[in-house]
Amino acid sequence: MCGIIGYVGQQDAVQVILEGLRRVEYRGYDSAGIAIAVDGKLAVAKRSGKLGSLAAQLAEHPLPSSGCGIGHTRWATHGGPNDTNAHPHVSADGRVALVHNGIIENFAELRAELELRGVTFISQTDTEAAAQLLALELALTNDLTVAMRTVCTRLKGAFTLVALDTQNPECLVAARRDSPLVVGVGDGENFVASDVASFIMHTREALELGQNQVVTLTRNSVQVSDFDGEPAEPQHFHVDWSPAAAEKAGFDWFMRKEIFEQPRAVFDTLLGRSDAAGRLLLDEIRIDTNELRLIDKIVVVACGSAYYAGLVAKYAIEHWIRVPVEVELASEFRYRDPIVNSRTLCVTISQSGETMDTLQAIRHARVQGAKVIAICNTVGATIARESDAVLYTRAGPEIAVASTKGFLTQVSAAYLLGLYLAQLRGTMFADEVERYLTELSEVPDKIQQVLDQAERVYALAADVVDTQDFIFLGRHVGSAVALEGALKLKEIAYLHAEGFAAGELKHGPIAIIDETTPVFVVVPPPGAGQLHDKVISNIQEVRARGARVVVLAERGDVAAGSCADYLLELPPTSVLLQPLTASVPLQLFACELATLLGNDVDQPRNLAKSVTVE
């Protein structure tokens, strides 16, 4: 949560920061602010509401020109989303401005200590305690880097901090622990940001900061050290995303653009995954393959849509490698004393690679001796770094808060992982693996076929625009698609939506259905035999209660078509691969309905893209 950027160079810092904030606004949008230092003083503009409000304020009352500054877009944790609590926070002596992402868990204790020392606080934030402490340390050392290190050792919790000192105005100091921070290395200019999207229009060369590190930036230098002052060597990486990937490219919303990017995103995720001998490859494997042969349990941990991707993957992986797969909400995992040991493989799924619940679950699993494989979209993210192996999803930047291409590429990557393990453990014949790989390679084209029917989905959304409650049903992998379809609608349309395993309906939830309730049903392909027929029976059960049924079924499925009030056709696939096409109309539906309702689709209320607090 929260987007941060710091800039030092020859351009106008305010413009660079404003543009950079626009690209990380998905991380939080309760308030935004910018600080620069000019003539020994700070100039600060901050405003509650979205970045647009700050931009309007700056257009009316511009800040002076400067080549160095910091900016922040906030998702509130401590203190409401008002102007005072907006970042940057300025120390009482006016010397230091600070932006922060994360939670300082011991802020109350620090605040009490500082108040005893005579410091007056003006906000309710945890961040202000760090800003005030930093100023007191700076007064002692007159060196922002040294002061930052000292402050960091006093803070408990997760944080990224970026600070500016009026007395050294062409230098920025940043630090991180358990919260994202990347450095962008330019020509005569340097950047720090929560996400490379903030600076890829200026440079694609970046440095990954490790845990507990401090970085000091000037126009021409980047120096990294740990909290004890020991120099550290950051890892360099080149950002492959083009700046255009972080633009809307003519779409009204990033979400709609990202839905339409899915054929390409899945294609890229599947690309070049085997060697000359046909063996599947992960991106970074730091696990001995013998250990993977010995695992007797897999635990998938993730949150939100990534968790639903895990639920889908469970069906395939258990089927292919005959090892039990548990799928856990990351936020619950470490609090229930899970049975995990050196023969457990923990698979974590995260688009951002920064989700704190997932990160903590990984740490817990590793302490118990498990090996961890991350399925992650963000190269060099903390989750990728702290795992024993990584499979990157190559979806490109996902900006909209509601995950779409993130979800589909997670399912695709989890399937690759399942096939990799099956190959390694010899639980599938080579031609079976080959058959699934061939079918996976046809998925991008099939997604495109679904996208080509978007207008039909939009017409349905227009038809139900006054409806308040929606039900989604599916069986087998379709039950996870139903959960994901309901989540999309809740997130961006703010409507009551529930997903159920279709067979479970008659054990209670069917009581909420009446003639006003649209029920979306994912019907397994007719080739799935009994599974298909059971879902047709479930459709009859809800029709008997007067519900309007929207059927998602394979093209030519006469039985499903005959009981549909509204039919959305899917291209033929095997049942295991159906989520990769069946999810798409549900994404389109949510996006369109939320648009018709006048909601902000990309930045829905109360949410943020990366949930970097527990």
Residues that bind ligand M6R (CB under 6 A): 303-306, 350-352, 355, 358, 401-403, 406, 487, 491, 610-611
Q: Which two tokens stand for residue 288?
A: 């001995």
Query: Is the CB of residue 291 less than 8 Å from the CB of residue 371?
Result: yes
Q: Which residues of 439-468 are buried (b: 16+ CB within 10 A; e: fewer)?
A: bbeebbebbbebbeebeebbebbeebeebe
Q: What are the φ and ψ backbone dihedral angles of 338, each rounded to 5 degrees?
A: -65, 150
Least distance (Å) between residue 28 CB and ligand M6R: 13
Of the pair 308, 320, the CB lying nearest ligand M6R is at 308
Query: Is the CB of residue 104 less than 8 Å from the CB of residue 110?
Result: yes
Alpha helix ranges (H) inside 275-341: 289-294, 304-321, 330-333
Catalytic residue selected from 314, 371, 488, 609: 609
Of the pair 89, 405, the CB lying nearest ligand M6R is at 405
Q: Which residues of 246-270 are buried (b: 16+ CB within 10 A; e: fewer)?
A: bebeeeebbbbbbbbbbbbbbbbbb
- Residue 2 annotated among the catalytic residues of the structure: yes
Of the pair 120, 606, the CB lying nearest ligand M6R is at 606
Of the pair 96, 255, the CB lying nearest ligand M6R is at 255
The CA distance from 329 to 475, in Å, is 20
Q: What does the angle CA 50 – CA 356 – CA 51 come to, to the nearest 5 degrees?
A: 10
Burial of 245 per CB tally in 10 Å (0-12, 13-18, 19+): middle
Q: Which two tokens stand for residue 523?
A: 């019907």
Least distance (Å) between residue 352 CB and ligand M6R: 3
Query: Is the CB of residue 573 less than 8 Å from the CB of residue 316?
Result: no
Least distance (Å) between residue 602 CB and ligand M6R: 11
Of the pair 14, 611, the CB lying nearest ligand M6R is at 611
Least distance (Å) between residue 610 CB and ligand M6R: 6
Amino acid at 173: V
Q: What are the φ and ψ backbone dihedral angles of 495, each rounded to 5 degrees?
A: -110, 155
Residue tagged 């527990």 (tokens): 614
The CA distance from 121 to 117, in Å, is 12
Question: Which residue's CB comes closest to ligand M6R?
Answer: 304
Of the pair 3, 406, the CB lying nearest ligand M6R is at 406
Query: Which helix (H) or strand (E) is 587 found in, with range?
Result: helix 579-596
**What single DSSP character describes residue 544?**
T
Catalytic residue selected from 2, 68, 152, 376: 2
The CA distance from 157 to 140, in Å, is 25
Of the pair 190, 350, the CB lying nearest ligand M6R is at 350
The CA distance from 125 to 132, in Å, is 12
Selection from 227, 346, 342, 238 nearest residue 290 by Cα: 342
**Catalytic machinery residues:** 2, 609
